[in-house]
Amino acid sequence: MGQFAAIGALIGTGVQAFGQLEAGREQEKAFRQRAGVLEADALVIEKAAREEGRQIRLEGRRLAGTQRVQIAGSGVNLAGTPLLVLAETRREIAKDAGFITEEGVRRGGSLRQQAGFERQQGKSARRAGRFGAATSLLTGGAAFVTRGSENNWWRRRSSIGGGRRAGRNARRAARLGG
């Protein structure tokens, strides 16, 4: 009866090891999916920032054009202060557009970095599942071998002086008068 319980425990160990492997794989899969979402978010943020920067530049060109028309319509020469005002307007617009674009790219890069960390955590989870499975198999196998040794399952039974066959043969010989 003890052998059946030990075999059942050994099978349970195998099932446990398989479960640990699967858990590690599923965790890795979840981390990879999260990394994919973060990468997609990074693309959206960067694209939106570039578009917003483009819109700011476009509005800036319109504003500079309006300023030129107003300056020219007022009869003032484009040299000197009016020219400095136009140059300052262009610089501010370029600075604003650059800041918006740069901020979006920075945020996108941060999300990409986080995605890399997620992938790394996934690999670690898979590795932990493997080590957990290996530990379960080694522990269960060692317990099985120990139980077998304690119960003399591994001792070779010989027909000379011991074992079931020897006892059976001795009884047969006694009956036959041998």
Distances (CA, A) of 148 to 2, 28, 72, 141, 157: 9, 38, 103, 10, 14
Residue 172 lies in a domain: no
Domain count, the chain: 1
63/146 Cα distance (integer angstroms):
86
pTM: 0.66
8 A C-beta contact, residue 115 and residue 39:
yes
Residue 51 lies in a domain: yes
pLDDT by residue for the chain (178 residues), tens digit each? 577 887 888 888 999 999 999 999 999 999 999 999 999 999 999 999 999 999 999 999 999 888 888 887 887 776 778 888 888 889 999 999 999 999 999 999 999 999 999 999 999 999 999 999 999 999 998 888 888 888 777 776 554 555 566 567 667 777 777 5
- Exposure string (b/e) for 97-122, b if CB count within 10 Å is 16 or more? beebbeebbebbeebbebbeebbebb
Domain residues for the domain of 73 are: 14-142
- CA-nearest of 132, 34, 55, 53 to 99 is 53
Residue 134 lies in a domain: yes
Distances (CA, A) of 47 to 21, 130, 176: 39, 40, 98
105/79 Cα distance (integer angstroms):
38
Torsion angle (degrees, nearest 10) of CA 24, 27, 33, 35:
-90
Residue 89 lies in a domain: yes
8 A C-beta contact, residue 118 and residue 99:
no
Residue 61 lies in a domain: yes
